[in-house]
């Protein structure tokens, strides 16, 4: 039986219809993602499910005692409340139940046959059992550790970063363990490590979820169903976002096939219609009406098919416009830069060059220094030491808060501050509506005030405004936050056709994989690794290395004592190799690091030559790999000999 049912729900705001005759249900264990355009009804549907928004018609049916909790995009906290108190405040109902239970036990000591008290005790016992609320202090401690909040437990929540505040809210909701958990953009402001932990927790604890998200990897990893809100109705697809895309492809094929069949049928009926009035009167009079209906459908179908095709094309477009590295203009050059904030080392001895067609994602944990590096690029912060050079070029900046928008202006005033209805788009004069419809704005929005727009709509305005400017370098801080998937697709499409550098901070793994050609990975303690790996590949390898490290540590700890000393049967050459290889490997690795540093330093590579340095680097790498492979084989041989020849206690 469904935990909650919505039957023929309709909702409109003034004259704008949002939902019309929508049916929806959720069963225990479902994890349902809601997708659709900004302003299309996602948040409206969530609020109706939550019971916090009235609908115009229809029925909302919910099972008795089903508890729903919702994570909003912008959670509110009491002034000066500490992290621990904010989390414990979410448990007030459970705490009160435990207090009532303890007080009841005291009453039963003097009146142990009171049937009313015994019945109340049974009810409280069942309630505390259901929510495992017998030891709430332990649960609070555990969740503080799990969400990496222990060091902040006595700090005021309002002094934390956006990502840390989001973790506080999530921790409180997880502790309450509701029957249905509603999440609005849960991965916003969370770093990728916390997102992965959160995914694992949701799956392990078997939460029943309804969520809105633009994070396509999160959707694929979590969702059992995806529902799309489009033109006031909903369509349901099994699985995550990848399945949704595949279903759309199948839908296009099916619609195209049906349309071709319709055209054949229409051709036959049109021939009948041409036979004249007398011939038609001999047939069913309703047949003429059906011909006109076929004509209307024949007009509508191509539009629907093209609409779905356009959505897919935006998702799958991938232009490779990389140019020869030596022909690109240098934008930024850093050599040994360092930056501290207070006593915290954020950047230590980092060297790199950024060229005109680079696509660089800055990734890592919250608070590691990613935004600090962006501010250095924007010349809002100065480095403490090292060399930082910036070329002559124009920057376009897209910040998290979109603070450069004037709330009191309407959209047309924002794009045409000097009046009129024309806008200059990178040198091309366009009608403002012709330009804005590319960003999914209907004509009636032109006179709408900025302050009346949703968060996603504000972001679309900010992007559209940014894309009008003639710039050489885009700097984006969490660009996908608050954007719906169609708008993210527009952003991706623009970036892929943009003739300039793109530097961005993001925790959206799918977006990073699609856009970035290079990664700046903040490893902690000021260390930044420059990598040309795919981000998902990097995370996967890092996870495997951690597993291997844990396994090796455990193996060393549990290594059995050897009671008999017997000589390992190595050949003379193998013994020599085993003793000499570590030093050779170390020397080669050191030389490779020197060459890599030289390639990042203009003074160095201009003396020796880029091609010569690159050849030397490849040569050293080709020498290193077989040495490591040979050494690992010798290690394996030691282990196999020890198993067969040693007496182990």
Question: Strand 385-390 and strand 473-477: pairing?
Answer: unpaired
Nearest to 515 by CA among 546, 488, 554: 488
Distance of alpha carbon 422 from the chain centroid = 36
Query: What is the mean pLDDT of the segment spanning 281-305?
Result: 57
Residue 306 pLDDT > 70, yes or no? no
pLDDT at position 555: 53
Q: Per residue in 25-50, pLDDT tens?
A: 999 999 999 998 777 889 899 999 99
Residue 632 pLDDT > 60, yes or no? yes
The runs of H, that is alpha helices, within 416-484 are 432-436, 455-466
Q: Per residue in 73-108, pLDDT tens?
A: 667 778 788 888 888 887 788 888 888 888 888 888
Residue 183 near residue 42 (C-beta atoms within 8 A) = no
DSSP string, 520-550: EEEEETTEEEEE-S-HHHHHHHHHHHHHHHH
Residue 9 near residue 202 (C-beta atoms within 8 A) = no
Task: Go through 531-563 and write b for each residue having 16 or more CB atoms within 10 A of its CB, e for each that does not.
Answer: bebbbeebbeeeeeeeeeeeeeeeeeeeeeeee
Among positive and negative, which fits the CA dihedral 512, 518, 522, 523?
positive
Residue 326 pLDDT > 50, yes or no? no
In the structure, what pLDDT confidence band is assigned to residue 399 with cuts at 50, 70 and 90? confident
In the structure, what pLDDT confidence band is assigned to residue 393 with cuts at 50, 70 and 90? confident
Domains 4-243 and 560-645 are alike in CATH topology = no
pLDDT at position 403: 60
pLDDT at position 271: 63
Q: What is the mean pLDDT of the chain?
A: 80
Q: Which of 67-76, 370-379, 559-568 has the highest mean pLDDT?
A: 370-379
Residue 375 pLDDT > 90, yes or no? yes
Domain 560-645: give its CATH architecture. Answer: Orthogonal Bundle (1.10)
Among 3.40.50.300, 2.40.170.20, 3.40.640.10, 3.30.360.10, name the CATH number for the domain at 4-243. Answer: 3.40.50.300
Residue 189 pLDDT > 50, yes or no? yes
Query: What is the mean pLDDT of the segment spanning 242-246?
Result: 87
Q: Would you list the domain boundaries of the chain?
A: 4-243, 245-316, 329-537, 560-645
pLDDT at position 596: 74
Query: What is the mean pLDDT of the segment spanning 66-72?
Result: 87
Give the phi and the psi of residue 594 in degrees, each rounded to 5: -60, -45
Query: Which is the CATH superfamily of the domain at 329-537?
Result: P-loop containing nucleotide triphosphate hydrolases (3.40.50.300)
SS (H, E, C) 208-226: CEEEECCCHHHHHHHCCEE
Angle, alpha carbons 312-316-322 (nearest 5°): 150
pLDDT at position 180: 94
Residue 521 near residue 495 (C-beta atoms within 8 A) = no
In the structure, what pLDDT confidence band is assigned to residue 266 with cuts at 50, 70 and 90? low
pLDDT at position 324: 31
Among positive and negative, which fits the CA dihedral 69, 459, 508, 233?
positive
């Amino acid at each position: 039986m469904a935990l909650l049912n919505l039957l023929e729900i309709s909702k409109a705001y003034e004259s704008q219809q949002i939902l019309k005759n929508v049916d929806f249900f959720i069963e225990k264990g479902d994890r349902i993602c809601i997708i659709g355009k900004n302003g299309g009804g996602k948040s409206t549907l969530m609020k109706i499910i939550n019971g916090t928004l009235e609908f115009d018609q229809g029925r909302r049916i919910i099972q008795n005692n089903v508890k729903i909790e919702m994570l909003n995009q912008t959670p509110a906290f009491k002034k000066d409340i500490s992290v621990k108190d904010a989390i414990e405040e979410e448990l007030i109902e459970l705490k009160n139940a435990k207090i009532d239970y303890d007080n009841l036990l005291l009453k039963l000591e003097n009146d142990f046959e009171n049937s009313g008290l015994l019945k109340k005790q049974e009810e409280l016992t069942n309630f505390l059992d259901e929510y495992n609320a017998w030891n709430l202090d332990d649960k609070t401690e555990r969740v503080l550790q799990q969400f990496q909040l222990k060091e902040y437990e006595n700090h005021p929540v309002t002094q934390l970063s956006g990502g840390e505040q989001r973790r506080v809210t999530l921790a409180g909701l997880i502790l309450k363990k509701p029957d249905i958990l509603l999440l609005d953009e849960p991965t916003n402001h969370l770093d990728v490590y916390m997102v992965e932990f959160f995914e694992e927790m949701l799956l392990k604890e078997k939460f029943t979820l309804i969520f809105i998200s633009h994070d396509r990897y999160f959707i694929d990893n979590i969702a059992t169903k995806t529902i799309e809100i489009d033109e006031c109705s909903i369509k349901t697809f099994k699985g995550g976002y990848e399945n949704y895309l595949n279903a759309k492809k199948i839908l296009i094929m099916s619609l195209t096939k049906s349309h071709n069949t319709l055209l054949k049928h229409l051709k036959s009926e049109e021939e009948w219609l041409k036979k004249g009035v007398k011939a038609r009167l001999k047939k069913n009079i309703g047949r003429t009406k059906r011909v006109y209906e076929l004509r209307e459908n024949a007009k509508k179908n191509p539009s629907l098919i093209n609409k779905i095709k356009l959505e897919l094309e935006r998702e799958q477009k991938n232009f490779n416009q990389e140019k020869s590295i030596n022909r690109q203009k240098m934008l930024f050059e850093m050599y040994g830069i360092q930056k501290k904030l207070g006593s915290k080392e954020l950047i230590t001895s980092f060297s790199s060059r950024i060229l005109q067609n680079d696509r660089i994602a800055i990734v890592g944990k919250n608070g590691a220094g990613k935004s600090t590096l962006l501010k250095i690029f924007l010349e809002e912060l100065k480095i403490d030491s090292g060399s930082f050079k910036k070329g002559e070029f124009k920057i376009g900046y897209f910040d998290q808060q979109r603070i450069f928008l004037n709330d009191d202006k309407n959209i047309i005033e924002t794009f045409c501050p000097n009046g009129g209805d024309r806008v200059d788009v990178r040198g091309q004069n366009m009608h403002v509506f012709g330009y804005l419809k590319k960003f999914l704005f209907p004509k009636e929005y032109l006179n709408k005030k900025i302050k009346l727009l949703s968060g996603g709509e504000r972001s679309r305005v900010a992007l559209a405004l940014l894309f009008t400017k003639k710039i050489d370098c885009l700097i984006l801080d969490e660009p996908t936050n608050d954007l719906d998937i169609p708008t993210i697709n527009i952003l991706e499409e623009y970036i892929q056709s943009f003739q300039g550098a793109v530097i961005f901070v993001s925790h959206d793994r799918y977006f990073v994989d699609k856009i970035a050609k290079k990664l700046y990975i903040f490893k902690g303690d000021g260390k930044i690794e420059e990598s040309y790996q795919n981000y998902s590949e990097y995370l996967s390898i890092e996870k495997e290395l951690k597993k291997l490290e844990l396994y090796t540590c455990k193996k060393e700890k549990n290594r059995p004592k050897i009671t008999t000393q017997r000589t390992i049967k190595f050949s003379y050459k193998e013994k020599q190799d085993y003793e000499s290889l570590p030093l050779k490997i170390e020397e080669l690795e050191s030389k490779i690091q020197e060459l890599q540093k030289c390639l990042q330093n203009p003074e160095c590579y201009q003396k020796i030559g880029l091609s010569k340095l690159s050849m030397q680097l490849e040569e050293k790498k080709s020498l290193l790999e077989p040495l490591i492979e040979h050494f690992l084989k010798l290690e394996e041989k030691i282990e196999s000999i020890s198993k067969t020849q040693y007496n182990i206690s």
